[in-house]
Structure 1
Amino acid sequence: MSSSAPMDGEETPASAQPIFKEINADQTDEVVEIESACLSCFKTGTTRLLPTKIPFFREVVLMSFKCDHCGATNNELQSASEIQKSGIRIELLVKSVSDLNRRVVRSDFSSLTIPEVELEIPVQSQKGEVTTVEGIIERTITGLSQDQEKRRIDHPTEAASIDAYIERLRKLKEMEVPFHLQLEDISGNSFIENPFGLTTDPQLKTKHFTRTKEQNEQLGLYEQNHEDSHLLKPIAEDEWPIENLHGEVLQFKTNCPNCNAPCETNMKLTNIPHFKEVVIMATVCGSCGHKTNEVKSGGGIEPQGVRFKVRIVDKEDLTRDVLKSETCSLSIPELDLDVGPHALCGRFTTVEGLLVAMRDQLDGAFFHDSADDTSKTQMHRFLETFELVMKLEHVITLVLDDPAGNTYVQSLSDDDAEPDNRLEVEKYDRTFEHNEELGLNDMKTENYEEAT
């Protein structure tokens, strides 16, 4: 039985209250304090927990411990999101002092490398944390400096080598030469800030990869044993025909992607004219009012990728229906704007709806409080230009590139003799990198029932 929204004057149930709020909101009342044992003096200290959201990323829990008896402190971060479908590799080229202030979110399953100084921080050698590029370097220096005084007496040669290495790390903060920060996380729950929001950052490269069996087991994910596969009975086609799902709206309980409060998702299988079968999922949160309209492809990956170029000239172009899959990236060359497939989920909307979603995500999730004046000015200027685009005072080209071929843009002309001159459709063969991103290179399509 679905629950109804509270009436005026009634209090919202605690179970429906948002759990994760924006990181730049006033969250003083959300901090939870619990008593914990101090591992240094074994007396009682205080641990403070704060569930929050990181813009352009996901939900996390910040933990801070302090002991008033011995002064010991400890800060950690735990991901509150599920393990992602793939791991992530992020490489940042640090060129200026402002790059040292970029936020870095690390999970417990992340490793860090700075090749220029041969620094490598392996998985689980440090707890997850929210820090900056400079904070990573400073924490490494602090760790190496421990017990140096005693080491200089007992092992002077080793101490001298460590002092020389610490000096190399300090020079990184002086930015005499650029260096690379490489972060790899098999859980996919790590992040390096892009100060340009959804715009492409030429210094930041992100790549997703398929985990190995050993990495899945390290995360506690185990594959089904082939010996038990006979216990699974497939559903016969006549027992659950797919036609029965057309026109029927299914509901299932889930959590709000914005505040994580309990809510319901409506799902419907439908056909897009001149395209294919898709699954549309819509969620409305009764707690924070957040709405989502997500689309999943009902078919497989197409033999070729597809690229749409829509020239937006008048209001008619803004009303075109668009089916954007979860593998489709967006770009506007005139604004140097590039939106990856993971920034906006799959959705069935219009061209105007896509533009509004991009603008809202840029304006709503940017680090307004912590950004420097230059970044704020650039973002403000960019948003002003974007508003002119929405008013059709600037002619732009919206490019939708989907290597899986599951994206569709409505043509304004139904007559093949008079093609739509403002819509360009191009099909192309995927590259090895595209197939790697889609997980096709490791897919076995012949004799797959045989154990490997």
Structure 2
Amino acid sequence: MSTSEPIYKELTSETENPDVLQIESLCMKCNGKGTTKLLLTKIPHYKEIIITSFECFDCGDKNNGIQSSSFHEFGVKYELNVMSTEDLSRQIVKSDEATISIPELDFEIPSNRQRGEINTIEGIVRNAIDGLSQDQETRKVLDVDLYEKIQHFIEKLEELLKVKCPFTLILNDPSGNSYIENLKAPSIDPQISVSKYRRSSEQNESLGICEDKILHKILWRNKPYQEEVLQFNTICDQCSKPSKTKMKVTEIPHFKEVVIMASECDSCGHKTNEVKSGSGIEAKGKKHTLRIEAIEDIARDVLKSETCSVTVPEFELYVGSGLFVGKFTTVEGLLVDIRDDMLKNPFLLGDTTTPDKRQKMEELIAKINEVIDGKLHVDLVLDDPAGNSFVQDIYTPEKDPCLKVEEYERTFEQNEDLGLNDMKTENYAQNDDT
């Protein structure tokens, strides 16, 4: 097997001399000569990214940016209620495709107007102030009325930084590659509302994503294909070398049909697997509550879809939908994935983490390890509005004393996140020309 190095490498505290590419560049501010540095790396939750840093030798201008190498399956929308100066220090990852708006000021930074970046809420507002302040001296001479209007708006932005009154910051990213820091992690932050949504055809087109129905037709309209393993060529997300993905439609006992996809790269040996529902969205949402009391409960099979959230009430631990792709694993495997993701998350245990937050995270990880080792009994809650998640009932056909399954009617907001409110199903068969 080849031992070729991956193109995108993870950065940790043990990383020495990361591979940085330097390119001589033109300064857009003074037309002087500068240098752009490129670092290809991986950040948990955002897959591979390219971090750019520019510095001009003539005027001293500096800037940095971030570009993602792939898109998530769902778009994401964050609504943050900024209530104190502490909120201004929240870290924010903004991709090129993201839109930032402040409804109270009727202010919006459109997508692709600013480069993707890692910043803080305060930094985003100050960048907006700096951008509006440019050429103000010229406007003061040529167009006094425009100068005064812009100056008045700049003063409003500066007032936001004092946070005398709460305001709302909305981050909407159809690529799904943006993020606002949760100061209450791993619990739910009451000041942040996060929703995921299916992109419209226009948004997919703007991202350069082709909506292909061929795979759907092969799997669900041609029954012979459901009896065999399909294989197609892909690109490895670790080393970007050609690899292969295998796909199989199978049925989970007492549940439903699912699509299992597995990839393996011959170049670097990286392996991934993902599970998706094969029967669409259920009529009702479904909530599984498992009381983990014995080693047998840790070994139960679990299917967690991409729309399912995971909660451990005893720890105030909340893992939102979309953090992991669809997984068919065990309770132990799911807890291990959550623990490992926390260990790699720079916003929870990175260099910028406060000592109090680091201690809280370390204590939480220790408790998760106790659950995995069978030393601690807790409730594990899987809440899936799409109804496509599953926890194995090991007492069938008898009643399972440790597992509670509830069906519920979805809220309007949940239907909105699943793209159901605007979905047209009337006369679908007559209009389907495929």
CA distance in 2, matches of 1:254, 1:206: 31
Which residue among 165, 182, 191 is the counterpart of 1:194? 182
Cα distance in 2 between the residues matched to 1:372 and 1:140: 28
CA distance in 1, matches of 2:88, 2:220: 58
Q: Per the alignment, in what secondary structure is the counterpart of residue 411 of structure 1?
A: coil
**Deviation at 1:98?**
3.6
Alignment counterpart, residue 352 of structure 1, candidates 329, 332, 341: 332
Partner of 2:260: 280
Separation in 2 of the partners of 1:80 and 1:260? 11
1:126-275 equivalent positions in 2, closer than 5 A: 126-153=114-141, 159=147, 162-220=150-208, 241-242=224-225, 244-245=227-228, 248=229, 250-257=230-237, 260=240, 262-275=242-255
Match of 2:400 in 1: 420
1:28 Cα deviation from its structure 2 partner: 4.1
* Alignment match, 2:19: 30
Q: How many Å separate the matches in 2 of 1:221 and 1:294?
A: 20
Distance in 2 of aligned mates of 1:366 and 1:181: 23
* Greater mean deviation of Cα atoms: 253-262 or 386-395: 253-262
Go from structure 1 to structure 2 and tell me whether the alpha carbon gap of 1:392 and 1:222 turns closer, same or farther (over 3 Å shift): closer
Deviation, 1:162, is 4.3
Preserved contact between residue 102 and residue 195 of structure 1 (Cα < 8 Å)? yes
Separation in structure 1 between the aligned mates of residue 186 and residue 267 of structure 2, nearest angstrom: 27
What is the Cα-based RMSD across aligned positions, in Å?
3.3
TM alignment of 1:3-82, pairs within 5 A: 5-6=1-2, 12-13=3-4, 17-24=5-12, 26=15, 28-82=17-71
Q: Is the 8 A contact 1:194 1:201 kept in 2?
A: yes
Q: 1:318: which partner in 2?
A: 298
Deviation at 1:289, TM superposition (A): 5.9
CA distance in 2, matches of 1:444, 1:70: 57
Structure 2 SS opposite 1:440: coil
Return the offset for 1:361.
0.9
Q: Contact conserved, 1:23 with 1:52, CA < 8 A, in 2? A: yes
Greater CA deviation, 376-385 or 111-120?
Answer: 111-120
CA distance in 1, matches of 2:392, 2:222: 36
> Could you list the per-position Cα deviations for residues 234-292 of structure 1 after superposition, in whole angstroms to 9, with x for gaps in the alignment?
779997614531xx4x4444344456555443433332222222222233556666543
1:78 maps to a residue whose letter is Q
Is 1:398 equivalent to 2:380 in the alignment? Answer: yes
Question: What residue in structure 2 maps to residue 374 of structure 1?
Answer: 356
Identity %: 47
* 1:76 alignment partner AA: G
Mean Cα displacement is larger for which, 272-281 or 19-28? Answer: 19-28
Query: Given the alignment of the two structures, is residue 441 of structure 1 paired with residue 421 of structure 2, yes or no?
Result: yes
Per the alignment, in what secondary structure is the counterpart of residue 177 of structure 2?
Answer: coil
Could you tell me which runs of 5 or more consecutive residues in structure 2 were left unpaired when the two chains were aligned.
Answer: none
* 2:263 aligned partner, one-letter code: T
Shift of 1:422: 0.8
Distance in 2 between residues matched to 1:346 and 1:222, nearest whole Å:
22
The residue number in structure 2 matching 1:105 is 93
How far apart are residue 333 of structure 1 and its match? 1.3
Whole-angstrom CA distance in 2 between matches of 1:354 and 1:139 = 40
Q: Which residue pairs with 1:9 in the alignment?
A: none
Secondary structure (helix, strand or coil) at the match of 1:241 reads: helix
CA contact (8 A) 2:32 2:57 kept: no
Cα deviation, residue 130, structure 1:
2.0
The alpha carbon displacement at 1:185 in A equals 2.2
TM-score using structure 2 length: 0.86
AA in 2 matched with 1:172: L
- The answer on whether the counterparts of 2:301 and 2:331 sit within 8 Å (CA) in structure 1 is yes
Q: C-alpha separation between the residues in 1 aligned to 2:62 and 2:236?
A: 34
CA 40–134 in structure 1, closer or farther in 2 if over 3 Å, else same: closer
Give, in whole Å, the separation in 2 of the partners of 1:424 and 1:445: 33
Q: Which amino acid aligns with 1:119?
A: F
* Structure 1 unpaired stretches of 5+: 7-11
Compared CA separation, residues 196 and 321, structure 1 to 2 (3 A): same
Answer with 1 or 2: which has the greater Rg. Answer: 1
